[in-house]
Amino acid sequence: MKKKHLLLFIILLLFNNLPAQQKSFNNIMSKGYLEFWNSQVQRKIDEDIELNRKAKAILKLKGLPIGTEVKVEQISHHFLFGGNIFLYGDCGTPEKNKRYEDTFGNLFNAATVPFYWKTLEPEQGKPRYKAGSSYEYRRPPTDPVVDFCESKGINMNGHAIIYGMRRWGHPEWMPEDRKTMEKHFEEHIRELAERYKGKIQRWDVVNEPTDQANRGIMPDDYAYKSFLWAMKYFPDSVKMNINDSDMHWDMTLYRRYLEIVRNLLDRGIRIDDIGMQMHIFNPKETSRIAEGADILTPEKIYERLDYMSGAGRPLHVSEVTISAPDHTEEGKAIQAEIAKNLYRLWFSHPNVMGITWWNVVDGGAAPGEPSISGIYDTALNRKPVYDVLDKLINQEWKTSIALKTNDDGILTFRGFKGKYLVHWKDQHGNSQKDEFYLKEDGDGLSLNE
């Protein structure tokens, strides 16, 4: 064995024996990559996370003896960390299916549910909503998925009502006449609204409208009309989103996307969130990034996020693919390190409201997409990228603190935004608990006044 390979083997062996929170992958990233993600960049990210993702909580617990211990534990995030749930019930065994399901709740608090019309209603008038419907790869019947997410309190994004490219979005039975298509579009939107209006929190009303040259026959001004129908049939509580772009795009395409969004807003359309995708589909591209290529650098990512923030709407990093360079341990470590830095930057940006990993399991991608971009391998074993995300989401970015009451009974702390559970013992020694939601400075509890 060559000395270089022996050294790498020893490093990986030592790495795999470390607890997740102590793992670092910098030793396998090039000098060029580390220069892009240097200490100054990391410091800015840390400062922005502190500024944008935390708020000051105030707990007013008057009447308690001075020195009473008050335990504060964050139990959920305000920020949405999600994954697509396209393989629900389709992982091969009950044990694998259970592990897949547990990802939603243990790691992710949000899920993108597949509502691609092409496979949702392959036969006109016979949609695949209910359990027991015909099988379609990566397109489970929607009712069981929605019921599952609802039972676990998972925030859902319906993806997508209308897909801008007919090849991928619309059933084979869709007519060729633009005006006739409009009637089907409106009926489809009305039906989804009536069936799921009280269950699904967010919808991608239109997906990928920017590439108009390749969309195929569509109704004239279909994006505008689709949003109008959605506004007509869905309740105001439902968020309506547009989804497009990739952070690989040059700024010419971003300018077109922003033009579309602004045009819709200027015409009275309600757009609540703007989806921005980020797909590293090619394993060779991942290798080039690790080697220090000028691809998806912090500067470029900030530029695109800041530019799309010009629409004045929150941003959803809606589809994240980070393919590993290969199946080796080194390849998995590279995938994890790239994911860590990207998630940290996205989480730090003031206008980003959520991040959604696209294909959760290796081998669970669409035809033509990479098979090694999951956070699990094909056997549903955790990959290093799972541990990295788990450390960020469930450890570094969650607040757990013990405080002690003072003479005025007012306690303050700065914590990550989300839902909190508070435990203490009253003046009689009885255990008490209460919850509060921290979103803005000054949120908290006010008891015993």
Mean pLDDT by 10 residues, the chain (449 residues): 48 45 64 98 98 98 92 98 98 98 98 98 98 97 98 98 90 95 98 96 97 86 97 97 94 95 98 98 97 97 98 98 96 98 98 98 90 96 98 98 94 98 94 97 86
pLDDT computed for residue 334 by the predictor: 98
CA–CA distance, 436 with 430 (Å, rounded to integer): 20
pLDDT computed for residue 26 by the predictor: 56
pLDDT computed for residue 25 by the predictor: 54
Query: Which helix H or strand E contains 274, and what residues bound it?
Result: strand 273-280
pLDDT computed for residue 18 by the predictor: 43
CA–CA distance, 250 with 235 (Å, rounded to integer): 36
CATH topology of domain 79-396: TIM Barrel (3.20.20)
pLDDT computed for residue 147 by the predictor: 98
CA–CA distance, 274 with 312 (Å, rounded to integer): 10
The structure's pTM equals 0.93
Measured at the CA of 233, the angle between CA 85 and CA 108, to 5 degrees, comes to 20
- What does the domain layout of the chain look like in residue ranges? 53-78+400-449, 79-396
First to last CA, the chain: 72
pLDDT computed for residue 317 by the predictor: 98
pLDDT computed for residue 20 by the predictor: 37
- Residues 57, 414 contacting (CB under 8 angstroms): yes
Q: What is the pLDDT of residues 143-201, one digit of tens each?
A: 999 999 999 999 999 999 999 888 889 999 999 999 999 999 999 999 999 999 889 99
pLDDT computed for residue 142 by the predictor: 98
> Which of the following CATH numbers is that of domain 53-78+400-449: 2.60.40.10, 3.40.50.2000, 3.80.10.10, 3.20.20.70?
2.60.40.10
